[in-house]
Amino acid sequence: MDAAFSPSSSCAGIGCIVRNDIGSWVKGWSSRLFAPNPFVCEILAIREGLRYYAQSLDKCIIASDCLVAVNSILSSAPPCGLYTNIILECRDLLENSHHLKLMFEKRSANEVADALAKFSLKDTTSCNGCFIWDFAPSFVSSLCTTDFVSAIEPLPPDQPP
């Protein structure tokens, strides 16, 4: 999952890629919605992924490159601020959908989701449009292999996530 934010329009683009166990494209989707700031945008992206996959019976890992958002959702501390209800909903979805897991993923392994989010953000026809791809669109096909290789490479010891 990833998100892109436009401060001038308060719109967010969110992107998701679904891969199988060998890293191949299964499905991708992106949508556009309103968000007050980039952090809420990231939390909304995670929530949409959790909502989408909560109905599935397949095991699924929702990965985000926003460590603060992932930690906020996985924390047991009470949330506060504009995003309290979103975080509580994410926690509820994770608790009640035992086949879902949320984890942090380094940015270099999340370029396809980022490109899908930015694509959706560029679509100015509506602020609630949704795109679904059964095959990798041409604008992300070259990133698919790079993302997968980056996801399986460990971080160097001196490099933060």
Q: How many CB atoms lie within 10 A of CB 87?
A: 22
Give me the CATH code for the 2-147 domain, please: 3.30.420.10
Span 86-105, pLDDT tens digits:
999 999 999 998 888 999 98
Distance (Å) of CA 57 to CA 45, 60, 97: 21, 9, 9
For 17-43, write each residue's pLDDT tens digit: 888 777 788 888 899 888 899 999 999
Question: At 108, is the secondary structure helix, strand, or coil?
Answer: helix
Model confidence pLDDT, tens digit, residues 69-86: 999 999 999 998 888 999
Report which secondary-structure segment, H or E, holds 9: none
Which pLDDT score, from 0 to 100, does residue 128 have? Answer: 63
Domain residue ranges in the chain: 2-147
Question: Has residue 146 got a pLDDT over 80?
Answer: no
Q: Which residues contact 62 (CB under 8 A, 6 or more apart)?
A: 1, 46, 49, 50, 53, 100, 101, 102, 103
